[in-house]
Structure 1
Amino acid sequence: MSGKGKGPLAGVRVLDLTSVLMGPYATQIFADLGADVIKVESPSGDTTRFIPPGPDASRGAMFLNVNRGKRSIVLDLKQGEARAALLKMAESADVFIHSMRSSAIGRLGLDYAALKAVNPKIIYANLYGFARSGPYRDYPAYDDIVQAASGIVDLQARLSGGEPTYAATVIADKVAGLTGAYSVIAALYAREKTGIGQEIEVPMFETLVSFAMVEHLCGSLFVPPQGPPEYPRATSEARRPYRTADGYIGVMIYNDKHWRAFFDALGNPKWSQNPMFASMRSRTQNIGTVLAKVAEVIETRTTEDWVELFRQAHIPATAIKSLTDLLDDPHLVETGFWQERETLEGTLRFPGIPTTFSETPGAIGDPGPALGGESLDVLREAGFSAEEIADLQARGAVRTAA
């Protein structure tokens, strides 16, 4: 294996045919952890390139961040010469990952069988909307669509007066991207033990249904069901940040120890003796009433007063922070989470790698690359001669940065 970077995945080479956010987020993780990620783009480029803001119209802020540490090669895969070039590159790659529908990657002649024929040890990962074994296989899918299909939107409606809403973050893309990342890494580990490559399928829909059902399957785990698929604490209308005397606070009085500490801090008022507060089971069965009582109490003191009380009682609590607040959050500043880099795009502030490794730490790479910025380097490394590269350029099969 060859590659660049440092980290636990140093030496792993990834051919990345993903676009938008799900796949690029997975491969951003690979790049952060040291893999050599070669972003294979069409002549028009990843659509995320063009989402503002940013001084370069072809590299907006989201693209610069989620494609950091990668190299870009432009191949027009509708041309046979470009397909042949990609297959040659695959001979020395460890991972091939794409985010096209199964029918689309098949039309390009780049399914698992084609890649396995040139490299039996390759890890081939499909990241797309719906599993190819079901009737939704060819439906287009983006984050909003999968949120709606997977139950997330319906769950959000429970907290917004019945009005369906999307989560205010692209949760489907990112959960599926994380799932793709750990799946590929697991397959690489298996290959190190067995010497055998394999194909992976990570469908967004199934991934998000699994994600939602971790807590919400509840009584429907049993056949016949002992209750609906819903975790009452999470969907209670009373489950929301509590209003204080001067603002809001996030509080999680969860286990029996927390509740005893909470009541002790309040002087064990008479209402705290109600049996519904006695155990996890009774609190869950009366969750709406329980949380409504907490809300009533929280409104009697200021946010600062409550934060101090909960800290002393070792009850999880925090003031409500905005994303702007996080840019100067004292904990994130002290841990070095934010990393500033001087680049051709100016000074950029990247969110750091959230995981740490004592012996093989990763590193934030350069901002997302120019379209085709490393086309020539990648081809040379794959063994193409100057004449072969010139021929590919003349045919329009490969393109370089303007």
Structure 2
Amino acid sequence: MADRPTGPLSGLLVADFSRVLAGPYATMLLADLGAEVIKVEAPAGDDTRAWAPPVRDGISTYYLAVNRNKRSVVLDLKDDVDVVLARELAGRADVMIENFRPGGLDRFGLDFDAVASGNPRIVYASISGFGTTDQGRVLPGYDLIVQAMSGLMSLTGSPETGPFRSGISVFDVMAGMHATIGILAALNARQTSGVGQHVEVNLLSSALSGMVNQTSAYVAGGVVPQRMGNSHPSLYPYEPIPCADGELIITSGNDAQFRKLCEVIGAPELADHPRFSRMKDRNAHRDELRPLLIERLSKRTRMEWFADIIAAGVPCGPINDVSGGVGFATEIGLEPVVDVGDGEAMVPSIRNPITFSETPVDYRLPPPGLDEHGEELRRWLSDEGNSDE
């Protein structure tokens, strides 16, 4: 195939039988790093092709977000000929990733045992909502449901608002990253053993792991965390604080940073106050400390304070919208937006966050149209196309 990738995973073939977000995000990360990803779609296409608005040139921006650097082929698993081609793809692949309901690929001979019997080097990754136990396998794996059932929504929002979902499908993304880590680890193990293995990730386990200090508070400390709005249960100040024209996030992570903050805002005596000098004291007396900080910070604008507080070595920042976030990353030279493709097919995309000194990320293909590469891929998978040339 033309446009062969050159990144650190160059030479790996990934059969992507996933759809929506967790799986496609994982396979995009692998594709960005040089893997050749074949996106297998049902005749109706990936669900996210229809998730709109917003759109760019009539195409869902949701779909565009996680499908660059892939080739699309439609294989209808209700069609016997297409099932044979799907098995052929799985038989040639280094990696296969799927997020069907547990057991959903068994009847097509595309489950791990069936694929591994003919391709023992396969690293086969499965992403589910709640795992493969008898109880978990029947539950639908939607991110919002996992946000609710994991406890995350009980932590998001304030005591007054009630539970909120995260502004993104955070556990789909997290599970996609965990799947990617598992795949890379299994590929490394294959270097020694010569055989692949089954990598399994589920959204609920990713959620409980990703909630880190909050789940640890319960399992290690016996404390059930509660909603605190924008406040932190263990650090203070670590929240938005009003300035003259809006709020500024201030994150004082230790006593030394708090002392620097007090000096910048002209209240050095607060750092020596017995109720504020140590983190545990500030946590215990935050309701008394907060109005004292507001009194000083309300005298200047948030960007004036931002410049001075950052210069003093205390982390802080204004609250941006998404446009502001992309703009700030651009302003500080991170170049967050890359153009993938050219001409009418060019699609602006968010840069892969990993930088390599020797094998850079390659943005070679825009997100494919449905079955855009179907003809060449079906020919390649057929008897007449068994050569890898």
TM-score, normalized by the shorter chain, greater than 0.5: yes
Asked if residue 227 in structure 1 is aligned to residue 227 in structure 2, the reply is: no
| Distance of 1:231 and 1:67 partners within structure 2 | 35
Within a 5 Å distance, the mapping from 1:1-400 to structure 2 comes to 4-52=4-52, 53-54=54-55, 57=58, 59-157=59-157, 159=158, 161-212=160-211, 214-222=212-220, 225-229=221-225, 234=232, 240-291=239-290, 293-329=292-328, 331=330, 334-341=333-340, 343=342, 345=344, 347-382=346-381, 384-385=383-384
Q: For residues 81-119 of structure 1, what are the alpha-carbon distances to aligned partners after superposition, in whole Å with 9 as ceiling and x for unaligned?
A: 322221112222100100111132223332111110110
* 5+ residue gaps, structure 1: 388-402
Conserved? CA contact 1:94–1:123, under 8 Å:
yes
Other structure's SS at 1:334 match: coil
Conserved? CA contact 2:208–2:215, under 8 Å:
no
**Cα separation, partners in 2 of 1:373 and 1:266, compared to 1, 3 Å:** closer
Q: Give the aligned residue type for 1:90.
A: A
Other structure's SS at 1:16 match: strand
**Cα separation, partners in 2 of 1:134 and 1:154, compared to 1, 3 Å:** farther
| Distance of 2:188 and 2:6 partners within structure 1 | 18
Aligned length: 381
| Distance of 2:3 and 2:100 partners within structure 1 | 25
Q: For residues 216-241 of structure 1, what are the alpha-carbon distances to aligned partners after superposition, in whole Å with 9 as ceiling and x for unaligned?
A: 1344334xx55335698535998642
Superposed displacement of residue 291, structure 1: 4.6
Q: Give the aligned residue type for 2:224.
A: P
Q: Which has the higher contact order (CA 8 A, sep 6+)?
A: 1
Q: For residues 274-305 of structure 1, what are the alpha-carbon distances to aligned partners after superposition, in whole Å with 9 as ceiling and x for unaligned?
A: 32322233334445554554344433321122
Superposed displacement of residue 162, structure 1: 4.2
**Cα separation, partners in 2 of 1:110 and 1:291, compared to 1, 3 Å:** farther
Q: For residues 248-275 of structure 1, what are the alpha-carbon distances to aligned partners after superposition, in whole Å with 9 as ceiling and x for unaligned?
A: 2111111121011112224445444332
Aligned-pair identity in percent equals 32
| Distance of 1:320 and 1:310 partners within structure 2 | 15
Conserved? CA contact 1:70–1:365, under 8 Å:
no
Q: Give the aligned residue type for 2:165.
A: Y
Match of 1:399 in 2: none
* 5+ residue gaps, structure 2: none
Q: Give the aligned residue type for 2:76.
A: D
Please, what TM-score do these two structures have when normalized by structure 1? Answer: 0.86
| Distance of 1:286 and 1:251 partners within structure 2 | 17
Conserved? CA contact 2:259–2:271, under 8 Å:
no
Superposed displacement of residue 348, structure 1: 2.8
Conserved? CA contact 1:68–1:369, under 8 Å:
yes
Other structure's SS at 1:193 match: helix
Other structure's SS at 1:329 match: helix
Other structure's SS at 2:187 match: helix
Please, what TM-score do these two structures have when normalized by structure 2? Answer: 0.89
Conserved? CA contact 1:130–1:137, under 8 Å:
yes
Superposed displacement of residue 155, structure 1: 0.4
**Cα separation, partners in 2 of 1:7 and 1:309, compared to 1, 3 Å:** same
Other structure's SS at 1:217 match: helix
Conserved? CA contact 2:10–2:35, under 8 Å:
yes
Superposed displacement of residue 209, structure 1: 1.5
Other structure's SS at 1:104 match: coil
Conserved? CA contact 1:217–1:230, under 8 Å:
no
Other structure's SS at 2:275 match: helix
| Distance of 1:323 and 1:357 partners within structure 2 | 26
| Distance of 1:332 and 1:379 partners within structure 2 | 45
Conserved? CA contact 2:243–2:302, under 8 Å:
yes
